[in-house]
């Protein structure tokens, strides 16, 4: 007599779940889901001076990015980032890296900001990792804080 699907399927599912739960990646993912959302947990062992310095330097870069976002000198046609993306809106840095048809490949947020500077604002290409692109990326990410990371989601 052959066992019925009602008996075999639950047994197979139980075996697969047991195997998956014993995998280190699944255990780590399970632990990550228990972490509080919207709160960045720093190690209590970090030197408070380092934490303060990190916050100060990051704030400076974000403020520089905010200024650059509205700077019409990034390009040659009088436009700035804020004209199309007020306060960093509709830029979706939480979805990068992702495929962009303008490149025909997956790109980083800095590559796409640079594309906008060159193509839309007719400005000079910036070096990836430059202070300006890092500041623009920091501002854009700051304005999008709280968004769920969804790498690769299509969109603007």
Instruction: List, in order, residues 6 or more apart from 44 with CB less than 8 Å away.
Output: none
Give the pLDDT score at 23.
Answer: 47
Q: What is the pLDDT of residues 118-148, one digit of tens each?
A: 999 999 999 999 999 999 999 999 998 888 8
Q: Is the pLDDT of residue 29 over 70?
A: no
Neighbour count for residue 93 (Cβ, 10 Å)? 23
Contact between residue 103 and residue 113 where contact means Cβ atoms under 8 Å apart: no
Q: Which CATH fold topology does 46-156 show?
A: Cytochrome Bc1 Complex; Chain D, domain 2 (1.10.760)
> Domain map of the chain by residue range?
46-156
Q: What is the pLDDT of residues 89-107, one digit of tens each?
A: 777 888 899 999 999 999 9
Q: What is the mean pLDDT of the chain?
A: 81
DSSP per position, 76-121:
SSS--HHHHSGGGTT--GGG-SEEETTTTEEE-HHHHHHHHHHHTS
Give the pLDDT score at 92.
Answer: 83
């Amino acid at each position: 007599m052959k066992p019925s699907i009602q008996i075999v399927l639950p047994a197979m599912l139980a075996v697969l779940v047991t195997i998956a739960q014993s995998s280190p990646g699944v255990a780590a993912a399970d632990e990550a889901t228990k972490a509080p959302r919207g709160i960045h947990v720093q190690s209590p062992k970090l030197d408070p001076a380092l934490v303060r310095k990190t916050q100060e330097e990051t704030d400076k870069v974000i403020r520089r990015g905010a200024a650059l976002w509205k700077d019409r000198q990034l390009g040659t046609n009088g436009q700035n980032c804020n004209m199309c993306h007020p306060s960093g809106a509709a830029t979706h840095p939480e979805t990068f890296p992702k495929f962009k048809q303008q490149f025909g490949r997956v790109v980083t947020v800095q590559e796409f900001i640079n594309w906008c500077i060159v193509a839309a604002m007719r400005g000079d290409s910036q070096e990836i990792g430059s202070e300006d692109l890092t500041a623009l990326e920091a501002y854009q990410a700051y304005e999008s804080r709280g968004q769920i990371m969804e790498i690769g989601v299509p969109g603007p």
